Amino acid sequence: MRSVRFLVVCSAVLLLGGSVICPAHAQGLPAVETFESRPEGYLDAQGDWSGLPEARVQVQTATVHGGSKAGVVATNSIATLSTADTSATNVWIDFHFRTQPRAVGRIPSLSPDAVAGFYINGSGAVVARSNATWVTLPAFSVADDAWYRFSVNLDYTARRWALYVADNTPNKLATPLATNLAFTASATNTYFHAFRIKN
């Protein structure tokens, strides 16, 4: 399981399972990222992380969750955490996420190699990708300046994924937002490669 804490400025799209790999750095699963051992400043090239542009993806201490540091992805930036574990065919990803005032009306594009993705729209609704269709998930809304724990299950054998959410209550069980979503048809990945946050 990857456990990642993040602060995202404005609204974000979370792209899961893309094929960006950093062979010189990439590690296998399971892995945990708390940012506690990372120096403040650019996250790019720290371990398995890359940031584009590098100056807009950073480790910072001003706004954190459950520790003294968190990652931040500024508007028009991408953070990628890569892995090279070919046995990672049924993967769970847990991460804490916080938005600050959202942009409105922008539907993100997914790279052709992304198997799944979701974003928070201008109204705070979670919108998930099932194959080529963006689906607004009912009965849940993300508030500005609040932390949430999202959990994603990627099943590469069935080519399906599921999305769960919990609020900031410690050890709270996650609630399913959507299950049995289809992988993006254009993606040919057979195992987990990367976790991306695009803002």
- What CATH number should be reported for the domain holding residue 137? 2.60.120
Q: How many domains does the chain have?
A: 1
Please calculate the CA angle 88-158-95 and round it to the nearest 5 degrees: 50
How many alpha carbons fall within 13 Å on the CB side of residue 47? 20
Could you report the per-residue pLDDT of 135-170, keeping only the tens digit for each? Answer: 999 878 888 878 888 888 989 999 999 999 887 776
Closest-CA residue to 192 (of 151, 155, 150): 155
Rounded-to-integer distance, Cα 43 and Cα 35, Å: 9
Residue 91 burial (CB < 10 Å; 0-12/13-18/19+)? buried
Percent of the chain surpassing pLDDT 70? 79
Domain extent for 139:
2-198
Contact criterion met (CB below 8 Å) for 35 and 47: no
How many alpha carbons fall within 13 Å on the CB side of residue 53? 4
Lowest-pLDDT choice from 16-25, 93-102, 117-126? 16-25
State CA 10 to chain mean position distance: 14
Could you report the per-residue pLDDT of 70-120, keeping only the tens digit for each? Answer: 888 887 888 888 877 788 888 888 888 887 766 655 677 777 788 898 888
Radius of gyration from C-alpha coordinates of the chain: 15
Rounded-to-integer distance, Cα 108 and Cα 106, Å: 6
* Prediction pTM value: 0.83
